[in-house]
Structure 1
């Protein structure tokens, strides 16, 4: 069994795509993450997994707060941008992308997303080459009724064009 084979098998499970963000000393940072899930409804807890060597991981551990924006099907470009290791740091990374500071963390919430969660760090756990971060949800909201962006078979997959915006 190889890492590539494991990744291929795991890629059969579609996931949503998020941008996890934080701020430290007034400098915002964000990165694309598809390892995100809700954990508890009482209390409200979510989970993200960040690479052990991620700048964002270090920033979140120091600041104790972060935000998660769930991306819309129209945000493939943003997903790729925040995944690129050569993107600029700080506010430059967010130029041309409408955002607001999360009400609790001050971390960027991308306004073109479909929803957001603004969190304080509840706990962290080392899990191999990642750190699992549990967040107490301090604020959240729905940003739009657009379909979400998905990740499946190692690629971004926008929702089908004929998907109805009506919810039944």
Structure 2
């Protein structure tokens, strides 16, 4: 069941302050890849999340009219390459709108062709999710692409995060909780 909530009165907070607060949502950085009609395309995404465990669905937030979303919908499948902490340059490359179009954007990059999605699986990525397009939904001024995970692989390495407007890499350490603190 879906509901739509309409605001009855305007929010009385500086929009810039709300945006600054949203920069504090840490999220893993991924490069999404698709192959359609013999042409490859990639884009950086910093909002990929688990939506459902059964069926296994992931969601990707994108800007409306995204070339990637259009190509993925036409092809019906795509790959999510979750980047490791050492792949910041790769994240910036696929976020740069001045990079070449089509397959040329992958020139000089190490990747293998995913046998199901026919899209690049970037070498050195922390994880790869091969997805079938489940659906796409307009949400406010964005679009949410849902993918059914057909196959997933992962390795152990520090992840690359988007945080406070920048890229952050580093080892993850378990947070201490009150129970751990009182037990030690």
Question: Given the two structures, how large is their TM-score scaled by the length of structure 1?
Answer: 0.89
Q: CA deviation at 1:86?
A: 0.5
Aligned to 1:48: 60
Counterpart CA distance in 1 for 2:90 and 2:79 is 16
Cα RMSD after superposing both structures: 1.6
Q: Using the alignment, how far apart are the partners of 1:79 and 1:3 within structure 2?
A: 27
The answer for the alignment partner of 1:76 in structure 2 is: 88
Count of aligned pairs: 161
- 8 Å CA contact 1:23, 1:63 repeated in 2: yes
Distance 2:150 2:167 in 1: 29
Bigger Rg, which one:
2
Mapped pair 1:39 → 2:68: no
Distance between the aligned counterparts of 2:99 and 2:38, measured in 1?
18
Residue pairs, 1:15-164, within 5 angstroms: 15-142=27-154, 144-160=155-171
3-state secondary structure, aligned to 1:96: coil
Unmatched tracts of structure 1, length 5 or more? none
Detail structure 1 runs of 4+ shifted over 2 Å in the superposition: 1-7
Gaps of 5+ in 2: 1-12, 174-184
